Amino acid sequence: MADPSTDWVDVGAAAELAREPVRELTAGAARIALSCIGGEFGAVSGVCNHVGGPLGQGRLDGEYLVCPWHQYKFHRKSGVGEPGYEADRVPSYAVKVENGRVLVSAKPVTKRGHLPHAPHPLARDPVRAAGPIRVAGISTTMMQPGNPRYSTSEALLEIALAHARDALGAQTQLIRLRDLAFHACEGYYSRSAKACTWPCSITARDATDQMAVVYEAAVHWADVLIVATPIRWGAASSLYYRMAERMNCIQNQITTANRVLIRGKVAAFIVTGGQDNVQAVVGQQLGFFGELGFVFPPFPFVAHSLGWDAEDMERNVAFVRESDALHAGARSLSDRAVAAATQLVAGAESMPDHAALGSRGGRKANRQ
Ligand code: FES
């Protein structure tokens, strides 16, 4: 350990450095988060314990530095974590003011420490467990608990799942997004590519965030995802987008860590609306799920819309409820999706390694 009494680095004029409550600077080779409250300086490592966020770009909450990436807190002078998490600590540096200059010890005076904790269950490698094809349906329509209504997209999804289970021998589960309490994406990736983590830092931080149900199904459990959405003003439902934004972390793993979480899995879609825009909705879904790593069966969606001019919502539910063609379409979507998944599972040994094929494409955040 350096002797702070003999080994100091001049980091600047105290009057100038006192103007900002927190700032990032370097002292020798070290990244420092220098803070100042009422003329009293504190110096700790500028590298957050969590995934390396820039503490010196954070803010103060009392005597604690708040990381700008995911809001972990460390005491601005001692580096210890917030109450209850004291063992999670960043290195601290001695700091003094002499002749109007701020001096920081060249070496830390306390060490970094990590609270031991088990990895999040989602963090395990996605390895397909043996067994029949598994089909997860995700319904993204909204309705009040206790006030059920007939949802055309969900009804077709239920038909597709029942067919997969009863006729094709698949295991199935239906996830209704409206039953899950989950946060909206906080856009950490916009701040820094590395701030978007897998498992999602929101899920890792908040055990009650039920997006874990979708992650578990999409990354670990399912061979097939069938996503059903209504059309709302020409787009998929708001719940769909809330989910899709949270699934960005799956895609960002490819970009930031060259880690492909979705391999050999199939996605298919059910889209219904009183008005049109099926092609645009499905086009967005194909683009997004393709970029997550999913592949598609031939004719990867079934859809229904009455169209702008033919809009007749008094007949819409009855039309879908009674349409043999749509019901048959939902069943054959299951057929195609399960057949494609069966082939992928059988050929898993010879599955190309996406990363080796350069599947990160032209993304720029992948340079590491
Ligand atoms: S809280 Fe600092 S990197 Fe996540």
Q: What is the pLDDT of residues 47-93, one digit of tens each?
A: 999 999 999 999 999 999 999 999 999 999 999 999 999 999 999 99
Q: How far is the CA of 88 from the centre of ligand 1 (A)?
A: 12
Mean pLDDT of 237-249: 97
Q: What confidence tens digit (pLDDT) does each residue in 265-286 have? A: 999 999 999 888 999 999 999 9
Q: How far apart are CA 221 and CA 134, in angstroms?
A: 7
Q: How far apart are CA 221 and CA 174, in angstroms?
A: 13
pLDDT band for position 257 (cuts 50, 70, 90): confident
Q: Is the pLDDT of residue 364 over 70?
A: no
Q: How far is the CA of 328 from the centre of ligand 1 (A)?
A: 49
Ligand 1 atom nearest the C-alpha of 201 is: 4
The pLDDT value recorded for residue 81 is 97
Range(s) within the chain of domains with CATH label 3.40.50.360: 121-350
Choice from 31, 55, 72, 186 to test ligand 1 binding pocket (greatest atom count within 8 A of CB): 72
The distance in angstroms from the start CA to the end CA of the chain is: 31
Mean pLDDT of 219-235: 96
Choice from 44, 45, 50 to test ligand 1 binding pocket (greatest atom count within 8 A of CB): 50
Q: Is the pLDDT of residue 353 over 80?
A: no
pLDDT band for position 368 (cuts 50, 70, 90): low
Pocket-forming residues, ligand 1, beta carbon under 6 Å: 48, 50-53, 67, 69-72
Q: How far is the CA of 361 from the centre of ligand 1 (A)?
A: 28
Mean pLDDT of 31-52: 97
The answer to whether 296 and 336 have CB atoms below 8 angstroms apart is no
DSSP string, 120-133: PGGGS---PPSSS-
Mean pLDDT of 191-205: 93
Residues 6+ away with beta carbon under 8 Å from 40: none
130 burial type by CB count under 10 A (0-12 exposed, 13-18 middle, 19+ buried): exposed
Mean pLDDT of 175-191: 95
Q: How far apart are CA 82 and CA 214, in angstroms?
A: 31
Q: How far is the CA of 51 from the centre of ligand 1 (A)?
A: 5
Q: How far apart are CA 155 and CA 208, in angstroms?
A: 28
**288 or 353: which leads in pLDDT:** 288
CA 358, 126, 199 angle in degrees (round to 5)? Answer: 90
Percent of the chain at pLDDT above 90?
A: 83
The pLDDT value recorded for residue 347 is 87
Paired with 20 in beta bridges are: none
Residues 6+ away with beta carbon under 8 Å from 257: 198
The pLDDT value recorded for residue 363 is 65
Mean pLDDT of 104-132: 94
The pLDDT value recorded for residue 309 is 81
Q: What confidence tens digit (pLDDT) does each residue in 127-180 have? A: 999 999 999 999 999 999 899 999 999 999 999 999 999 999 999 999 999 999
8-105 belongs to which homologous superfamily? Answer: Rieske [2Fe-2S] iron-sulphur domain (2.102.10.10)
Write the residue with the smallest CA distance to atom 3 of ligand 1: 53
Q: Is the pLDDT of residue 357 over 60?
A: no
Structure tokens that stand for 79 in this block: 């580096």
pTM score of the predicted model: 0.90
Q: How far is the CA of 330 from the centre of ligand 1 (A)?
A: 44
pLDDT band for position 200 (cuts 50, 70, 90): very high
Range(s) within the chain of domains with CATH label 2.102.10.10: 8-105
Mean pLDDT of 203-228: 97
Nearest to 290 by CA among 348, 234, 332, 250: 250
Structure tokens that stand for 330 in this block: 């939902």
The rounded mean pLDDT for the chain is: 93
Q: Tokens 């350096």: give the residue.
A: 2
What is the four-CA torsion angle of 12, 16, 22, 23, rounded to 10 degrees? -50
For the chain, counts of helices (H) and of strands (E)? 9, 15
**254 or 110: which leads in pLDDT:** 110
Q: How far apart are CA 308 and CA 291, in angstroms?
A: 31
Ligand 1 atom nearest the C-alpha of 70 is: 1
The pLDDT value recorded for residue 367 is 60
Q: What confidence tens digit (pLDDT) does each residue in 281-337 have? A: 999 999 999 999 999 999 999 999 988 888 788 889 999 999 999 999 999 999 999
Q: C-alpha distances in angstroms, 76 versus 4, 20, 31, 41?
A: 18, 14, 14, 9
The pLDDT value recorded for residue 258 is 85
Burial 137-162 (b: 16+ CB within 10 A, else e): bbbbbeeeeeeeeebbbbbbbbbbbb
Percent of the chain at pLDDT above 70?
A: 93
Q: How far apart are CA 136 and CA 212, in angstroms?
A: 14
Ligand 1 atom nearest the C-alpha of 51 is: 3
The answer to whether 241 and 233 have CB atoms below 8 angstroms apart is no
Ligand 1 atom nearest the C-alpha of 67 is: 2
Q: Is the pLDDT of residue 193 over 60?
A: yes
The answer to whether 278 and 305 have CB atoms below 8 angstroms apart is yes
Name the CATH topology of 121-350.
Rossmann fold (3.40.50)
Q: Is the pLDDT of residue 5 over 60?
A: no
Q: How far apart are CA 334 and CA 338, in angstroms?
A: 6
The pLDDT value recorded for residue 311 is 78
The pLDDT value recorded for residue 117 is 83
